[in-house]
Each structure stands twice: as C-alpha cells, then as structure tokens.
Amino acid sequence: MQFSHALRALPVVCSLAPALPAPSPDTTGQAAARYRVATDGEWFYQEVTGKRLARLARGAVVTGGDTKGEWIGVTLDGWIFGTSVGVTPRAGFDLAVTRAPEENLRAAPGGTIVAKLAEGFLLTKLGENGPWVHVERAGWVKRAALEPVVVANSRTAGDSDSLQARLTPGRRPGVADTTGPAADPNRAQPARRTVVYRAPDGPPAGTLTPATPLKVLSKSGEWARVQFEGWVKTSDLESAPPGVLVGVSAAELRAEPQRFAGQTLRWTLQFIAVQQADELRPEMPKGAIYFLARGPLPERGFVYVIVPEGKRALVEGLAPLATIQVTARVRAGRSRFLGNPVLDLLSLEPQS
C-alpha cells in the first residue's frame, strides 16, 4: 500500500538513519540545532503562514535556523531521481520537479522517503550520484511539530564509566545487560481487526487479524503501506500466462524503471482517450498512436499505451472510462517529463 493508504504503497537537512551525523556548524562556528519531525505528514511552508509546499515524514531529522514565534526555519535536503527534475531559472533556483503529480525526496539515493514534492517544486542543486541528484530547499515548519535532538558534545569527570563502556566492546564485568535487542521501527502489527485497501481511498482487499506481523514500507498522511506474508491454497490462485507478470504496481515501475524495461505484464486499466505522440513524449515514436489510461486499477496515476496499427480500430471503439485488461510490454518504467509508465500493447480485453 504507499507515502499514502498502504504506501503498495503530501508529502529539512533530512535523515532517517538511526545514527545521526554530527551537527553542521553555522556561520558563527556553533553547531546548528537539530530537530526530529514528530508528526507524520507535517507541512513544509514557503514562508511563515505562507504557501504549503510539501509534506514531511515522521522521524525525519531537520537542521533548524531562524525562529519566528511558533515557527522554525529549516532546510529540506535530500535526493531525487534525475529524470523527475528539469532546469529552471525561476526565483534563483536551479531545478523544478517535473513529475506529476509529485515525486519522492529520499534521505539517500534509493533510500527512505522523507517528503513528497509536488510538480513545480523549486530546488537548489548540490550534487549528483549516478541517476540521483542531491538537492535542498529552505522553508518553515511549525515548532509544535518538531522535537529537539539531543547530541552529547561534552564530558565531565563523572562520565568515565560511560566513556569506558563506549571504548570497550561488550558488557562491563558485573553489570547486567538490560538494553535488549534494538527495536525495529518498521515492524508493526494490527491493534484490532483491520481492513487492507488496494490503494489509499481505494477498494478493500481483505482484512488482517490482530497481531499479524507486518513490515511498514512507507507512510503518507494517515496511510501506511505494509507488507505481510501468509499462505493460501494453491487451488485458489490464478496463474499468469508464461512470461507475463501480474501484481506489479505502477509505483514499482517508477521506482525501478530499468528492472522492468522489456518485461511483459498484465494490467487492468481505465481507458480515457486516444492521442498522438509529439516531442513531449520522447519515449514514443513521433506521431505514434497511443491511449491514455488510469491505473493499473485501483492506482490513480496515468499510463501511456502505444497501439499497433492492427489494434487501432479496437481501441478507437472503446468508450471513455471503459475498464479494460491489457497485456503489454514495458517500454519505459517512467516517462521523462511526467514520470508515467509507457507500454507497448500486445492484447486487450474489455471488462464487463
């Protein structure tokens, strides 16, 4: 489920790593204050009481700056996929998010999601690492949504035992180990009988009983995308044709486009309209006929499906908003400008 209903998943230097790096000094040489976001989906503002720009993840660590009443100035810092941003001269920034409706900002290349950035969000470029771009943006967060991160930077004479414990591996003689194993914040279980949804605000897919082991993959607002393991009878399963993938989400294609390129999958889509490719669709031959669809259902994103000449009449006969099942080959996991999957149609079946 997604940084959403089950993020299967809106959203500042930010990091979700358990071990925090040393605080960065400010221009006076003093360590800058650091805070942890205590509220999931907290807003990141352009100015105090100004425009809302992005939502932050609970647990993200931010470096604080100026304060104004109930507000704290922070810097949003992280990594974004290079194909999801474009060059812009606006307002002194270097880049703008080009993927619609939003793109993930991560703590590290391919790492944990720390914020959701809407299309048009302006950024300053800090560097690159392969297909990933390091970016930042200053803004404001309400003080009530942040909690201080305490970093020890001094030691008194009474700290000798603590210092020795840090320098010497293992337990000190005669001292019981009461720490226990480190807690995994990504492990959870339902507190009551819980409905599982196929997508945020989508149709229910089933229920989970209390104490079912879960792994939290991501969060968005009031939703968490979770993963769980279980057993079903083989006779109850529908097998896909050989070489055809089922159960793959558009979110997975966007996250790992190279992995799925050239793969054949089966999706249920909602047909919208037939269109013709232009220079804004560089993944398609110019002038190619394709149709725009929503899905795979119940996902709400858009998909481009290139139509071969032999199936053009079938596609043009579809009614808008018709539900169809397609078997298609992945041409691109995400388009350059909008981040939508691009498929080559192999077969199509209207659904009742």
What are residue 241's phi and psi, to 5 degrees? -60, 155
pLDDT band at 58 (very low <50, low <70, confident <90, very high): confident
Query: Do 200 and 271 sit in the same domain of this protein?
Result: no
Q: Is the pLDDT of residue 15 over 80?
A: no
Query: Do 108 and 212 sit in the same domain of this protein?
Result: no
Of 100, 118, 148, which residue constitutes the final position of a domain?
A: 148
Report for 1-5, 160-164, 165-169, 334-338: range of highest mean pLDDT:
334-338
| Nearest residue to 37 via CA among 100, 95, 94, 105 | 105
Q: Which domain range does residue 56 map to?
A: 34-148
Q: Is the pLDDT of residue 204 over 50?
A: yes
Whole-prediction pTM value?
Answer: 0.43
Mean pLDDT of the chain: 79
Query: Do 286 and 346 sit in the same domain of this protein?
Result: yes
pLDDT band at 151 (very low <50, low <70, confident <90, very high): low
More confident residue, 221 or 44: 44
pLDDT band at 329 (very low <50, low <70, confident <90, very high): very high
DSSP bridge pairs for 132: 81, 129
Contacts of 278 (CB under 8 A, 6+ apart): 286
Q: Looking at the domain assignment, is residue 47 inside a domain?
A: yes
Q: Looking at the domain assignment, is residue 26 inside a domain?
A: no
User: Does the bond joining 298 to the residue before it have cis omega, within 30 degrees of 0?
Assistant: yes
Looking up tokens 């099942």 gives 325
Out of 82-86, 90-94, 174-178, 326-330, pick the least confident: 174-178
Query: Do 118 and 144 sit in the same domain of this protein?
Result: yes
Query: Do 126 and 214 sit in the same domain of this protein?
Result: no
Of 148, 168, 203, which residue constitutes the final position of a domain?
A: 148
CATH classification of the domain holding 296: 2.40.50.140
Contacts of 192 (CB under 8 A, 6+ apart): 210
Query: Do 115 and 206 sit in the same domain of this protein?
Result: no
239-295 per-position pLDDT tens digit: 777 889 988 888 888 888 888 999 999 999 999 999 999 888 889 998 999 999 999
Q: Is the pLDDT of residue 115 over 90?
A: no
Query: Do 85 and 58 sit in the same domain of this protein?
Result: yes
37 contacts 57 by C-beta, under 8 angstroms = yes
Alpha-carbon Rg for the chain, nearest whole angstrom, is 24
What are residue 348's phi and psi, to 5 degrees? -145, 135
DSSP bridge pairs for 103: 117
Q: Which amino acid is at 292?
A: L
More confident residue, 339 or 17: 339
Of 122, 148, 174, which residue constitutes the final position of a domain?
A: 148
What CA–CA distance (Å, rounded) separates 222 from 55? Answer: 12
Q: Is the pLDDT of residue 306 over 80?
A: yes
Query: Do 59 and 126 sit in the same domain of this protein?
Result: yes
pLDDT band at 183 (very low <50, low <70, confident <90, very high): low
Task: Count the neighbouring beta carbons within 10 Å of the beta carbon of residue 192.
Answer: 7
**pLDDT of amino acid 31:** 55
Query: Do 130 and 60 sit in the same domain of this protein?
Result: yes
Q: Looking at the domain assignment, is residue 20 inside a domain?
A: no
**pLDDT of amino acid 344:** 96
Number of domains present in the structure of the chain: 3
What CA–CA distance (Å, rounded) separates 16 from 105? Answer: 12
Q: Is the pLDDT of residue 17 over 70?
A: no
Question: C-alpha distances in angstroms, 342 versus 84, 246, 253, 332?
Answer: 15, 17, 10, 5
DSSP bridge pairs for 304: 292, 342
Q: Looking at the domain assignment, is residue 157 inside a domain?
A: no
Q: Looking at the domain assignment, is residue 76 inside a domain?
A: yes
Q: Looking at the domain assignment, is residue 168 inside a domain?
A: no
74 contacts 48 by C-beta, under 8 angstroms = no
Query: Do 256 and 339 sit in the same domain of this protein?
Result: yes
What are residue 303's phi and psi, to 5 degrees? -135, 140
**pLDDT of amino acid 25:** 54
Query: Do 219 and 248 sit in the same domain of this protein?
Result: no
Query: Do 198 and 287 sit in the same domain of this protein?
Result: no
Q: Looking at the domain assignment, is residue 169 inside a domain?
A: no
Q: Which amino acid is at 146?
A: L
Q: Looking at the domain assignment, is residue 12 inside a domain?
A: no
